[in-house]
Structures are given as C-alpha cells and as structure tokens.
Amino acid sequence: MHVRLVKSFSFDAAHHLPCFPEGHKCRAMHGHTYTVDVVLEGALAEGEHYLIDFADVKAAIEPVRKRIDHQCLNDVPGLEVPTVERIAAWLWEELAAALPMIAEIIVHESPTARCEYRGPAMAPASPGSGQRAEGRDGRL
C-alpha cells in the first residue's frame, strides 16, 4: 500500500523582501503566521501498519520550527531573502536528513497564498512546454 502522510505546524515570523521594487508593501518589515504542511510518502511493507509515527515527525520538525518561530527570517542563515518559495526550499533542506520520505513542503503565507515545493530534483517547466506559471498576484 502506498500512502502520503501530512504533518502540519505553524510559526510566526517577520520578514522584509528586498527583491521587491521600492514602494512595494512587501519591502517593508511585516509578519505572517505561516502554516507548513510536511508531506511524507512511501509504501508500507508487508505486515506493516503505518509509515512513520507522527510523534517522530513532530520531533524532527520541532528543532527547525524553534529556529524560525518569532524571528526575523532575513536574519536566519540561508533565508536572507525569505520569499515563500525560499522558505519552502529551506525547510526541505533542513528536514530532509531527518525525514527521508519527504515528498513535499507546502508553506501557507496566508489563508489564500501558498507555495508547494517538491524538492530540488523537480525541474521547472521549459519554455514552450505548454505549462504556464502564475505570478505572485495569481495572474498568468
């Protein structure tokens, strides 16, 4: 049997995004209550009843969560430009060794905005592939 498990956690943090143009609201220091979904995927071997104990997942997440909770993300090494995309990739890198079954990190910046990251091996769509990417404002 093949399964996907999701363990969610949240953290509060401030950031500013120097990559945005002057006058853009995200250039100023502001904060979010982020919700993160850590998706694990794998097959249960014959006779097994669960993929991983959720308590073990929480134990792997907690030290990472503590490093970013109530912090200015720009001050965290590796998150100097903490866009939601960079936060998702950073979390993957921080959790991958402890959670080798990681399949996806979903970072919710707000109830209506999120980034879904499926790891470094996921190549972007090539030009002319017919796939289109949405901009940050939801427009194509």
Quote the pLDDT of residue 45: 87
Q: What is the pLDDT along the chain (140 residues), one digit of tens a residue?
A: 999 999 999 999 999 999 999 999 999 999 999 999 999 999 998 999 999 999 999 999 999 999 999 999 999 999 999 999 999 999 999 999 999 999 999 999 999 999 999 998 755 555 554 443 333 333 33
26 flagged as catalytic: yes
Quote the pLDDT of residue 103: 97
Domain count, the chain: 1
User: Which domain, by its residues, includes 83?
Assistant: 2-117
Quote the pLDDT of residue 140: 33
Displacement of CA 135 from its chain's centroid (Å) = 18
Question: 6 - beta bridge partners?
Answer: 39
Q: What is the CATH number of the domain that holds 77?
A: 3.30.479.10
Contact at 8 Å (CB) between 11 and 34? yes
> Given 19, 24, 62, 70, which residue is catalytic?
70
> Given 16, 26, 72, 85, which residue is catalytic?
26
Question: Would you say residue 131 lies in a domain?
Answer: no
